Amino acid sequence: MLFWSSERWWGDEGFRHKPHEGIDFYLFRDGKGHEHNLNPGIRIPLMYEAEIIKIDDDFLAKSIYAKHLIYDGNGSQLLSVYAHVMPLPGIDVGRILREGEMIATIADLKGKERSISPHLHVSMAWVPQTVSHECLDWDTLANPDIVTLLDPLECMVCQYLVVP
């Protein structure tokens, strides 16, 4: 699911009650053009150097909140959230990690009440430095009076192709 989309790709599909605040990575193509699902256990790297500031339950597994040393010049700091994951051992609040270090795996969603396939959700936002880490949750991220959501694809420094 793309950033700010109102259409669902899982379950009975249809529409969301609010636009999607990030991007869902569900499939990928290898170098030979073969399509693969993101299966449970696939490791997730950190996009930029960051401090882990919160690990919270989400409706499928865990969400990891990472505060990056990137600022917008207006008092806000870049935040990324990796959701529907299981943190790797040693990934704890307060830990500072380098770009590319592995932080989590895709969560196994078998047995969950919803008919959603394993995937990685990534949200990115400018968050005022005055916002307490304890206040960060999905409601705060979706509040345009507090944060400015960013399209994660525009923040990536790797080459990719979006396939409809």
Set out the domains of the chain in order of their start, with CATH numbers.
Answer: 23-155 (2.70.70.10)
Q: What is the pLDDT of residues 72-116, one digit of tens each?
A: 999 999 999 999 999 999 999 999 999 999 999 999 887 665 667
Give yes or no for a contact between 142 and 18, defined as CB atoms under 8 angstroms apart. yes
| Per-residue pLDDT at 4 | 47
Please state, in angstroms and as integers, the Cα–Cα distance from residue 70 to each residue in 13, 48, 129, 155, following that order: 36, 9, 11, 12
Residues of the chain predicted below pLDDT 70: 1-20, 111-115, 157-164
